[in-house]
Amino acid sequence: TVLIWTQDTPDTPWQKKALCSEKFAEVVWRVSWSLSGNILAVSCGDNKVTLWKENLNGGWECVSEMEEKTQGGN
């Protein structure tokens, strides 16, 4: 599970929100924000990297998915 933590103002408490309602198929190894801060890359144990972007309703959508191919072509 990937959690996004947000805070509206410095005086309000931090709030957490799950990136997506479904769990990732494998362990999440790393997350990284884009330089602009609006796209989140998630790297998982199944050799997939997914890119996520917040929509206008405040939900997160997967906008791209990449998978590393193994030498055997699988």
Is the residue at 1 inside a domain? no
pLDDT > 70 in the chain, percent? 93
In terms of C-beta density within 10 A (0-12 exposed, 13-18 middle, 19 or more buried), how is residue 51 classed? middle
pLDDT band at 65 (very low <50, low <70, confident <90, very high): very high
Give the chain's length.
Answer: 74
Is the residue at 27 inside a domain? yes
Is the residue at 60 inside a domain? yes
User: Domain limits at 47?
Assistant: 20-67
Task: Give residue-wise pLDDT tens across range 7-16.
Answer: 989 999 999 9
Task: Give residue-wise pLDDT tens across range 31-57.
Answer: 999 999 899 999 999 899 999 999 999
Is the residue at 58 inside a domain? yes
55 with 67: CB under 8 angstroms?
Answer: no
| Number of domains composing the chain | 1
Is the residue at 51 inside a domain? yes
For 8, 39, 58, the CA distances from 1, given in Å and listed in that order, are: 23, 17, 18
pLDDT band at 74 (very low <50, low <70, confident <90, very high): low
